[in-house]
Structure 1
Amino acid sequence: MVNQTHIQVQKIRAIGLTVRNCGVSLNFYTQALGFELVADMIVADKDYSELEGVIDVEIRIVTLRLGDEIIELMEYINIDSRPIPNDSRSNDLWFQHLAIVVSDMDSAYTHLNSFPIQPISSAPQTIPVGNQASSGVRAFKFKDPDGHDLELIWFPPDKGQDKWHQNTNRLFLGIDHSAIAISNTEQSLHFYRDLLGMQLDSHSLNWRATQARMDNLPGAEVQITALRPIQGGVGIELLDYILPGKGRPIPSDWKSCDVANVQIQFVVNNLESLVDKLQQNGVEFVSSKIVRFADNLFPYKQGYLIKDPDGHAILLVAE
């Protein structure tokens, strides 16, 4: 029997975004943000329907790479996908952004503004000196054509992973983390740290006018807890808004085919044992069982879709 302390997330393989039109999203991510096309496929089988908890799906999946990181754009061809609410704010519990690292914030911001984006931040913001964990970091938040939340982030020499400070002629470097709005830090730490085995990376409290301008939330004060898998790479940031308080919860009837769906793909070292452990701890499941894929076109052999305590989608995979 596997020791449960050794059952854990190894790395984040990819981040999946449900989109209305893969062609539109492909153009935006490649032209505005420097992603490169890896694969473009149509999936229409019972196994994938079972994995995503949506009956009789036909999905176009476009795989894109930026640096070492991968995203998957998922268009449900035969299903009408509900849009993200137009009045979404950063403290709504469905908020989830990808932090895209840039080598030069001013150049990246100028380039991005030549595309039809919806800004969240008033302009790139610099975290003030009083915030020890993040001082000097520059960030700008905005939305993609579907309303998915994104962030450009620049790290000063003493912050961020080493790979963000390598000499390069690229403007857009990769994805550092996905940040999610949560209702309770301890509850989410129990899920991500204690059950999934992720490791604490840092804590910070972001507030003052800088955070308000970044989030377009007057008086914003947010407790941020960062975690990474044991193998490093893309991490998770838990955003616990103290002010103006928690926003709206994720509606219980939202499905994988709805545009608000973002699913983080966690590679785990023992999927069966982890699923048993999660069942014992009352975690919400989307897939009815562990789905096994024989098709070599799939980048993983097994998958199981679950939800975190606030309803964010987590796809557990075995490679």
Structure 2
Amino acid sequence: MPPTSPHISSIGFTTANAEATAIFFEQTLGFSRGESLLVDAGPYAQLLGLAGSRLKLVRLRLGEETLELTELLSLGEGLRPGRPIPADSRSCDLWFQHMCIVVSDLEAASAKARQAIAHGSLVGVSTAPQTLPEWNTAAAGIQAFKFRDPEGHNLELLQFPAGKGETRWHRTAPASAPFLGIDHSAISVADTPRSCRFYDGLLGLKLGGDGVNSGPTQDGLDGLQDTRVRITGHRCPTGAGVECLNYQPPNSGRPRPLDQGAQDLAHWQIRLRVADLDRIAATAQACGGQVLHGGVIELGAQASLVGAERALQLSDPDGHQLQLLQG
């Protein structure tokens, strides 16, 4: 029986080299290789706003979740080449998105990444692994560490203490395999109530927590100063969720470039199965969303790529993209 909708079936991003990126996730973060698909120009490329382009999709698994890498093999006529992630990106910039990987032992799980950072082959975000303080009741005892993959995509390793997080994050894991699964994808947003209307009111996720993190520990975690961030979690009935990060001054972030597209390495997308694609398409604008690339696309012969006959590419109020599936 398929999961109850809404349900996140994958979290993904654009990469310049899917094979090299897949190897990084396998060797450094415990992912296992799934299928690799070559996608000819057709309705799926149109869905992404890349009409006429050829793509390669590489899927990896960690626990119950899927990471999907998208590489552009050729660009359709008239499309500009992709751009790298800006080197000066910060957690508060509104194009920021990361994937949170839950681990059973943060010290062991972060060892390879910390060694690579020390040698200069990866970029760290956090100054060191951080433990959230006791005063922060909702998050007290959570340990986390943030860094970037070789192309600059942001990642977080997180360990829940007893009594926090889902039951599945507390199952016994061998010391040699501390990586458990993907808890959420976090996005930077400018307006918390507006994002709640979009994710909960429009898409049907449920508010799973609302609090403010601040102080030296949060500074060390995010690589910022004077950090104060409102964090709202939005959960599906099962599986991964979405976490909205609303950074307060002096860390108000820069807006997403208006021309950012799926060919850019800063492009992430959450693939979400929903029950009523047409209703969402018709009411998205009223909830701050934007229907992209012609609206609902009939995938036809390419339906097997995502396991759905119809799909919709949608941006949230800050421009973060979701790929909605039905059927």
The bucket for the TM-score relative to the shorter chain is over 0.9
> What amino acid is the match of 1:269?
A
Partner of 2:248, secondary structure, is: strand
For 1:318, the equivalent position in structure 2 comes to: 326
For 2:78, the equivalent position in structure 1 comes to: none
**Cα distance in structure 2, aligned partners of 1:312 and 1:9:** 20
**Aligned match of 1:200 in 202, 207, 210?**
207
**Cα distance in structure 2, aligned partners of 1:283 and 1:105:** 36
Unaligned runs of 5+ in 2: 76-80
Partner of 1:113, secondary structure, is: helix
Does structure 2 conserve the Cα–Cα contact (< 8 Å) formed by 1:9 and 1:196?
A: no
Matched, 1:35 2:43: no
> What amino acid is the match of 1:314?
L
**Cα distance in structure 2, aligned partners of 1:270 and 1:285:** 15
Does structure 2 conserve the Cα–Cα contact (< 8 Å) formed by 1:32 and 1:111?
A: yes
**Cα distance in structure 2, aligned partners of 1:113 and 1:245:** 26
| 1:238, distance to aligned residue in structure 2 (A) | 0.8
Partner of 2:195, secondary structure, is: helix
> What amino acid is the match of 1:299?
V
For 2:46, the equivalent position in structure 1 comes to: 50
**Aligned match of 1:22 in 18, 25, 28?**
18
- Aligned pairs for 1:44-123 (under 5 A) are 44-79=40-75, 80-115=81-116, 116-123=121-128
For 1:3, the equivalent position in structure 2 comes to: none
1:86-142 CA distance string (max 9 Å, x none): 000011001111000011011112133344321100110000000011000000000
1:19-51 CA distance string (max 9 Å, x none): 011121011011110111111011012201210
Does structure 1 conserve the Cα–Cα contact (< 8 Å) formed by 2:281 and 2:295?
A: no
What CA RMSD, in Å, does the superposition of the two structures yield over aligned residues? 1.5
**Aligned match of 1:153 in 158, 161, 180?**
158
Please give the TM-score of this superposition, normalised by the length of structure 1.
0.94
**Cα distance in structure 1, aligned partners of 2:22 and 2:287:** 39
**Cα distance in structure 1, aligned partners of 2:5 and 2:148:** 29
| 1:287, distance to aligned residue in structure 2 (A) | 2.5
Percent identical among aligned pairs is 39
1:232-291 CA distance string (max 9 Å, x none): 210111101113232110011011111100001111012122222225556312220312
Does structure 2 conserve the Cα–Cα contact (< 8 Å) formed by 1:48 and 1:57?
A: no
- The 3 A distance-change label for structure 1 pair 244 and 51 is same
Partner of 2:20, secondary structure, is: helix
**Cα distance in structure 1, aligned partners of 2:295 and 2:317:** 19
Does structure 1 conserve the Cα–Cα contact (< 8 Å) formed by 2:197 and 2:287?
A: no
Matched, 1:214 2:221: yes
**Cα distance in structure 2, aligned partners of 1:237 and 1:151:** 12
For 2:173, the equivalent position in structure 1 comes to: 168
For 1:308, the equivalent position in structure 2 comes to: 316
Unaligned runs of 5+ in 1: 1-7
Matched, 1:223 2:230: yes
**Cα distance in structure 2, aligned partners of 1:9 and 1:261:** 24
For 2:270, the equivalent position in structure 1 comes to: 264
**Cα distance in structure 2, aligned partners of 1:92 and 1:246:** 7
| 1:199, distance to aligned residue in structure 2 (A) | 0.3
Which deviates more from structure 2 when the two are superposed, residues 178-187 or residues 271-280? Answer: 271-280
**Cα distance in structure 2, aligned partners of 1:106 and 1:304:** 40
**Cα distance in structure 2, aligned partners of 1:287 and 1:280:** 18
**Cα distance in structure 2, aligned partners of 1:44 and 1:193:** 35
Please give the TM-score of this superposition, normalised by the length of structure 2.
0.91
**Cα distance in structure 2, aligned partners of 1:283 and 1:113:** 38
**Cα distance in structure 2, aligned partners of 1:61 and 1:287:** 20
> What amino acid is the match of 1:167?
T
